[in-house]
Structure formats: structure tokens, C-alpha cells
A = this chain, B = another copy of it.
Amino acid sequence: MSQAASSATTSSQATSSRAASYEPTERTTLTRARQRATYDEETVHAILDEGYVCHLGFVRDGSPVVLPTLYGRVGDRLYLHGSTGSRPLRMAGAAPDPGLDVCVTVTHVDGLVLARSAFHHSINYRCVVVHGTAHQVTDPEEKTSALDALVDHVVPGRAADSRPGNAKELAATAVIRLDLREVSAKIRAGGPDDEPEDLALPYWSGVLPVTPVYGAPIPADDLAPGTPEPAYLTAR
């Protein structure tokens, strides 16, 4: 919470007098189902912190491109990484380059909503959409903590329990940063919204919950026998 609190201060200075909320903009204001929108910073951070795969959108030759990629959050900053040869990371460039106009979306599916009518079928989900300009990170210290955050998003505690990147690996990796300023979350929860006249129809209705479940760890073929399974793995 301390990270969130300090970033809230920064965010409020930049965009709002309210400390714990992102200021809606024209493009983060929902045109439909407005009651599902939230700009609450704690909610946004919780949705981001629960995941590790985002969908990165950018424009190339006038057309949209959407690619799945890993991310990490540090305070009010989102970090994405890739090879220095990766197209969007090259396009982002380092300041004072203009950067890359991106949209980063993180989605968790929580349930399948079955209504009596086909029309009212839906999904329970939580998603965060971030708009902004991404830039390559050049500061070595920021880059290292961003890469740690990326690894820890996938398996919390793992960054400290693996070999850190060496100079060659760091040089081959590009990291881009997107400040959390223009952000919205959208949440659908609860049961189906059937029409009153449909309630007597003979169809089952309700929610089928869904959640990602982690299976038993599969050791690498070349793992030395007897290497203990770390506690952070069984906790995942």
C-alpha cells in the first residue's frame, strides 16, 4: 500500500485533486454500461497486480496491432519488455524521442453468465485499459527494477531467487515504460440480468465461475535431482 500511496500523490498532482482516483478523460469515459466503470486507483492496481499478461496495442502503418506480452507494475508505472529488435520497443525509442502511442489492456475472466435469453448472456470480468505514450527506459537502475517487477508479476518472489541479468542480457533487452495516468477499469460481477417475462422459462440460469489454476510444477529435464521446490511456487 505504501507504493500505491506515494504514486497516488504523484498522480493527484498531475491529474486530479482527489488522491485515490484517476481522472476520467474523453477516451476513458465509457459510452455504454457506465455503471461498470471505475477510476479508483486501488482497484486498478489490484487488477493489474493479479495478472502478468497484457495485450499491447499500437499503430503500425496506420493499422492496429495487438500483441500479448508480459508486464510489471512499479508504483504508477507500467513496464513492458522485449528484445531490442522487437518492433514496438524499437518504435517507442528513448526520450527525447516522441515515444509510442499505446493502449495496454489487462483482462481477468471470473465467470460465464448464463441468462434465460441468449441476449443477456455475458461474462463476469475485470479489466484495466491504459492509454499513453511509452518510452524506452535508459536508466540502468530503473531498468533493473522494472525487470525484477516483470519476473515477480509472473511468480512473486522469483526475481530474488534466480540469476540476475548480466551486461550482455541487459543490453539485449529493451524495457518500455507507460505512466499510469489515463486509466480506467471495467468490472462486471454477479448473476444474469434476465427480463422479468423470461423468469418462468425452463432454462437453467446462473454463473459458472472460472479461475486460472496452477498445476503441479514440472521440473526441467536437466534439473539436478533433489533441488527443492521453492515455497513461492506452491503458493502460486
* Interface, chain A (partner B; CB < 8 A): 27, 31-32, 52-53, 55-68, 70, 83, 85-87, 101-105, 107, 109, 111-112, 114-119, 121, 123, 125, 127, 129, 131, 147-148, 151, 154-155, 158-159, 161-166, 169, 173, 191-192, 194, 198-224, 227-230, 233, 236
Contact = CB atoms under 8 A, between A and B. Distances in A.
Given A118-B162, A155-B114, A68 B127 contact: yes
Contacts of A123: 52-53, 70, 154
What copy number does this chain have within its complex?
2
A117 B165 contact: yes
Nearest to A108: B68
A68 B227 contact: no
Contacts of A223: 204-206
A85 to B, nearest CB: 6
Nearest to A198: B163
Nearest to A161: B203
Contacts of A103: 57, 63-66
A31 B8 CA distance: 39
- Interface of A, secondary structure class, is mixed
Contacts of A219: 204-206
A96 to B, nearest CB: 20
Nearest to A52: B123
B209 A212 contact: no
Contacts of A230: 204
A214 B112 CA distance: 9
Given A114-B162, A129-B66, A210 B215 contact: yes
A203 B58 contact: no
Given A53-B109, A101-B64, A102-B64, A165 B210 contact: no
Contact of A107 (B55, B61, B118, B194): B55
